[in-house]
A and B are shown apart, each in its own frame.
Chain A
Amino acid sequence: MIEAQNLSVAYENRLILRDINLRFAANSVTALVGPNGCGKSTLLKTLAGLHKPQSGQVLLQGHPLQALKRKAIAQKIAYMAQAPQAPEGLTVRQLVEHGAFARRRLFKRQDHEEVNELLAACGLSPLAERPFAEMSGGEQQRAWIAMCLLQKASFLLLDEPTSSLDLGYQINILRLVEKLRKTQHFGVIMVLHDINQASHFADRIVALKDGSVVSEGAPHEVISSSLIQTLYDAEVTVQTHPKTASITCVPNYAG
């Protein structure tokens, strides 16, 4: 369980997040949503221990993150940056193998079985020996996720995993994460800018604006046209699917 207590986070001398109190369970999928600049990426980074809060703390299973070594954190929390940069010349397999960094002792050999399993689960087996740089956006994203999963952490934190992808790949990635959760058992906290994706793939939504939590809860509890208006200053009609009960916000383009 990850817990944020009285978290206030600054970035370049500006206070971005004010007094956040949140809890994330290891068996849930939480989506952080909100307008640009609301602090959702910063919050994610702070939860991953990559950014130091100005005040308050983040607790990982009761231990403050600040007290833990990076390796210890990496064993429990996997984080995928918004625009991660891979070094040149790596194959897909070589990229994914880096995920085991935190788990390996100094002289232990790489467990190829593990890596192959993960590659297969992410649909990357035929591409494993190809250069990473030649992969499509969707394939690269899958590779990053495979790398994160190799950490065998309890939490997967994703910063806008779909922003740079075509629609097909976006859905692909989110489905992949969903599928992998069932076999690998980890909690997910992801920053999404598409509220509909959030409502479908997450069982909990945290809506942020101006550095504070505006609303949180299950999608059907949280999403309403007034919330969307507050967050994004956009007019939408909220529709609930009669059979699947999934929620979709349809923007009102005519105005």
Chain B
Amino acid sequence: MASSVKYVLVIAALILTTVFSLKLGAVSASWADVRGVFDTDPDAVSRAILNLRWPRIVGAAVVGCYLAVAGLLFQILLRNPLADPTIFGVSSGAALAVVIAMNIVIALGSGTEGGASASYLPTQLVPPIAMGGALCASFAVVALAWKKGMQPLRLLLFGAVLAVVLNGAVMTLVLSLSEARTELAILWLAGSLYARDIADVLPGLWWGLGCFLAIGFYARSLSALRFDRDTARAMGVETKVAVPVLLLAAAALAASAVAIAGPVGFVGLLVPHITRLVFGPSVRHMLLGSALFGALLVMLSDLVGRMIAPPLELPVGIVTSLIGAPFFAVLIRQSLRKVAL
């Protein structure tokens, strides 16, 4: 099957998912209402759908896309098929930074009452703060796991433990808020698109696009970086520049996703592998395919989370963890078969 056909199929799936996400949910809309969403002057029901579900769908797509690409980059650059920004602690670092900032804002008395957790800070600020946290966390993990080079398993192990530590810190801070805020904050911590507003999504979106530009620029270097370092440098890749830039872009993407929906796990882990199975190893396809599949995965997960037991909803992060953990287990078994890790 030619790649273009596959792309068409994936995009078709995305469109289908979008439509169904608009229709289904705690309150099921009719097809007419769904069509009404696209009118220039929608009626009340359509407007409700527009306000509630559309931001979620966009948010899901963006989060999935960003996390998948971030995961892909981490996997290539750290030469570790098990890398994922959440398992690693990168997402936790981002979350911690945001929560700390929130607490500072509240302590300074300039926060406003009510609303979703991240809206205590001006939404423009959330992604950069998250990025700062993500970078610190990445730094910490690499520093901890470095021992004459980067053994993949060490990195993962320390990343996972660091994630737990950071999560503990996050929880402490979150639980010190009042009950109402805590509810939302906790939801956000599991990775959730609950009550997301377009305003919540946009800042992260722009930052992410900037990252994509950088990645596009270095895409061919990325391809060469999959070889061992010496070979990549011998080919002409300026590794001292390319690797940090790409790692930064990856962390920033993950952070942007966290800024929108909190830490959603395993997307960055699964999607690159799925993409490779479907599209083959060419870096161009991997980047594009991961972006698309990531969006699809998170959109579907959000839909499933909303549909499982309405009106209750299962946060997106939990759904992806439930799907992702078994996959992770399979990958571990696969990597066992290979020698010396």
B-binding residues in A (CB < 8 A): 45, 48-50, 69-71, 73-75, 77-81, 83-90, 94, 98-99, 101-102, 104, 106, 148, 151
Across the interface, A85 reaches (CB within 8 A) one of B227, B237, B282, namely B227
- Collect the chain B residues with CB atoms within 8 Å of residue A85's CB: 227-228, 231
Q: Give the docked Cα–Cα distance between A75 and B224 (Å).
A: 15
> Separation in Å of the B322 CB from the closest CB of chain A?
27
Q: Is B223 an interface residue (CB 8 A)?
A: yes
- B235 near A151 with CB under 8 A, answer yes
Residue in B227, B237, B239 with the greatest tally of chain A CB atoms within 10 Å: B227
Q: Give the docked Cα–Cα distance between A77 and B231 (Å).
A: 12
- A75 near B280 with CB under 8 A, answer no
Residue of A nearest to B216 (CB): A106
- Collect the chain A residues with CB atoms within 8 Å of residue B238's CB: 69-71
Q: Is B47 an interface residue (CB 8 A)?
A: no
- B280 near A98 with CB under 8 A, answer no
A-B contact pairs, 9 of them (CB 8 A): A71-B238, A74-B235, A81-B231, A85-B228, A85-B231, A98-B235, A101-B237, A106-B217, A151-B236
Q: Give the docked Cα–Cα distance between A148 and B231 (Å).
A: 10
Q: Is B233 an interface residue (CB 8 A)?
A: yes
- B228 near A102 with CB under 8 A, answer no
- Collect the chain A residues with CB atoms within 8 Å of residue B280's CB: 89
> Separation in Å of the A69 CB from the closest CB of chain B?
6
Q: Give me the 3 closest cross-chain CB pairs, A-B, nearest first.
A: A74-B236, A102-B236, A87-B226
Across the interface, B233 reaches (CB within 8 A) one of A50, A83, A90, A99, namely A50
- Collect the chain A residues with CB atoms within 8 Å of residue B235's CB: 74, 98-99, 101-102, 151
Q: Give the docked Cα–Cα distance between A171 and B104 (Å).
A: 70
- A88 near B281 with CB under 8 A, answer yes
> Separation in Å of the A134 CB from the closest CB of chain B?
14
> Separation in Å of the B219 CB from the closest CB of chain A?
9
| Residues B85-129 near A (CB distance < 8 A) | none
A-binding residues in B (CB < 8 A): 217, 220-221, 223-224, 226-228, 230-231, 233-239, 276, 280-282
Q: Give the docked Cα–Cα distance between A242 and B227 (Å).
A: 46
- Collect the chain A residues with CB atoms within 8 Å of residue B281's CB: 87-90, 94
Q: Give the docked Cα–Cα distance between A74 and B231 (Å).
A: 10
Across the interface, B239 reaches (CB within 8 A) one of A70, A88, A98, namely A70
Q: Give the docked Cα–Cα distance between A73 and B276 (Å).
A: 32
- Collect the chain A residues with CB atoms within 8 Å of residue B221's CB: 101
Residue of B nearest to A75 (CB): B236
- B231 near A84 with CB under 8 A, answer yes
- B234 near A98 with CB under 8 A, answer no
> Separation in Å of the A50 CB from the closest CB of chain B?
5
- A50 near B230 with CB under 8 A, answer yes
Q: Give the docked Cα–Cα distance between A85 and B223 (Å).
A: 13
Apart from A80-B234, A84-B231, A101-B236: 14 A-B pairs, beta carbons within 8 A: A70-B233, A74-B235, A80-B231, A81-B231, A81-B234, A88-B276, A89-B281, A90-B281, A101-B221, A101-B223, A101-B237, A102-B236, A106-B217, A106-B220
> Separation in Å of the B224 CB from the closest CB of chain A?
5
- Collect the chain A residues with CB atoms within 8 Å of residue B276's CB: 88-89
Q: Give the docked Cα–Cα distance between A81 and B235 (Å).
A: 11
- Collect the chain A residues with CB atoms within 8 Å of residue B237's CB: 70, 101
> Separation in Å of the B1 CB from the closest CB of chain A?
16
- Collect the chain B residues with CB atoms within 8 Å of residue A78's CB: 234
Q: Give the docked Cα–Cα distance between A101 and B223 (Å).
A: 9
- Collect the chain B residues with CB atoms within 8 Å of residue A106's CB: 217, 220
- A98 near B228 with CB under 8 A, answer no
> Separation in Å of the A189 CB from the closest CB of chain B?
13
Q: Give the docked Cα–Cα distance between A49 and B232 (Å).
A: 12
- B233 near A98 with CB under 8 A, answer no
- B234 near A71 with CB under 8 A, answer no
Q: Give the docked Cα–Cα distance between A102 and B232 (Å).
A: 11
Residue of A nearest to B240 (CB): A70
- With known contacts A89-B280, A90-B281, A81–B236 Cβ distance under 8 A: no
- Collect the chain B residues with CB atoms within 8 Å of residue A89's CB: 276, 280-281
> Separation in Å of the B230 CB from the closest CB of chain A?
5
- B234 near A48 with CB under 8 A, answer yes
Across the interface, A86 reaches (CB within 8 A) one of B227, B233, B234, namely B227
> Separation in Å of the B59 CB from the closest CB of chain A?
32
Residue in A81, A87, A102 with the greatest tally of chain B CB atoms within 10 Å: A87
Q: Give the docked Cα–Cα distance between A77 and B234 (Å).
A: 8
Q: Give the docked Cα–Cα distance between A88 and B80 (Å).
A: 12
Q: Give the docked Cα–Cα distance between A71 and B230 (Å).
A: 13
Q: Give the docked Cα–Cα distance between A189 and B234 (Å).
A: 15
